[in-house]
Amino acid sequence: MKTTRSDSWPAPAKLNLFLHINGRRDDGYHELQTLFQFIDHGDNLDFIINDSGELKLHSQMSSTVTDSDNLILKAAKSLQQHTGTTLGAEIFLDKVLPMGGGIGGGSSDAATTLVALNQLWETGLSHAELSEIGLTLGADIPVFINGLAAFAEGVGEKLIAVDLPESWYLVLTPDAHVSTAAVFQHPDLPRNTPKLTLADLMNKDWHNDCQQLVCQLHPQVAKALAWLIEYAPSRMTGTGACVFGVFDTQAQAEAVFAKMPASMQGFVAKGTNKSPLMLRLAQC
């Protein structure tokens, strides 16, 4: 059996710089408006390509997520089925991002799998075609495949690339697993934020419609946010649990990070409008 190894494919985190819920559709999905930016911090995937057609995932998550539920394997299988390739892969995941953190860990892993295997299997799909596959697996996956900071509408699938300040962020990772489904199903979630144009949104103070509810349901998130907001403009990302403070310089972010209570965890990262995954793909 022939094998080829390809290492160091990043699966970066994202931040929702704002998240507005505009309404709920008849099919149960929510209309939203949000602004995605990547950060230079995330998971890493290595691939060994083989001609067996079999897929195997090596990960420290194996004990907590079954293969049938794992987005990485779902993405790889979907690409196999869509293209008819007879190739397989062993996939090695170095998991850094917390699950249920609202920074896109699972979605980013799936996107990196689609982008990397499309390259390594030489299946030749465009990013638009990969995004169509990704959207069937998760609403956030297309933004990671496209690889550019973006304004998103609809259920998150309508993307417009934007050029944003590449700030520094202190991201706190509370010990809480927030269920996105539970947040969107909760009766107390605000669902009536008016839709605005991108130009209007860029000139307004940003907020996250899920933040108040998640803070009520998860005191750890409220505690992290209350501490961080003393030092910088701070919000929750996605449906949580992670919260982030915005800084102009790395030194400012690191200085606050050094003051972080021992009971909290987090990291400093730089915002980037182009995904590290795109930079890795360009090396091929």
Is position 140 annotated as part of the catalytic site? yes
Are the C-beta atoms of 12 and 276 separated by less than 8 Å? yes
- Alpha helices by DSSP H, listed for 18-140, are 71-83, 105-120, 127-135
Instruction: Show Cβ contacts of residue 209 under 8 Å, excluding neighbours closer than 6 positions.
Output: 19, 20, 21, 189, 190, 191, 193
Q: Could you tell me where the beta strands, DSSP code E, fall in 25-106? A: 30-50, 55-59, 88-94
For the chain, give every domain's residue range. 3-162, 168-272
Predicted confidence (pLDDT) at residue 69 exceeds the cutoff of 70: no
- In this prediction, residue 204 carries a pLDDT of 87
What six digits make up the tokens of 76? Answer: 């790889």
Q: Which of 14, 43, 95, 209 is catalytic?
A: 14
Q: pLDDT per residue over 114-133, tens digit each? A: 999 999 999 999 999 999 99
Question: Quick check: 64 pLDDT over 60?
Answer: no
The string of pLDDT tens digits covering residues 195-210 is 999 999 998 889 999 9
Cα(41)–Cα(268) distance, integer angstroms: 9
Over residues 72-97, the mean pLDDT reads 96
Tell me, what's the pLDDT at 66? 56
CB-based contact 9:49 (threshold 8 Å): no
3-162 and 168-272 have identical folds: no
Predicted pLDDT at 61: 67
Q: What is the pLDDT of residue 155?
A: 73
**CATH number given to 168-272:** 3.30.70.890
Give the pLDDT band (50/70/90) at residue 28.
confident
pTM of full prediction above 0.75: yes
pLDDT at 65: 54
List, as one string, the DSSP characters of 140-206: THHHHHH-B-EEEETTTTEEEE------EEEEE--S----HHHHHH-TTS---PPP--HHHHTTS--
CA gap 221, 215 in Å, rounded:
5
Sign of CA dihedral 28, 160, 97, 54: positive
Query: Is 163 noted as a catalytic residue in this protein?
Result: no
Q: 3-162: which CATH topology? A: Ribosomal Protein S5; domain 2 (3.30.230)
The type of residue at 95 is K
Name the nearest CA neighbour of 245 among 261, 231, 258, 259. Answer: 231
Catalytic residue among 43, 109, 140, 209: 140
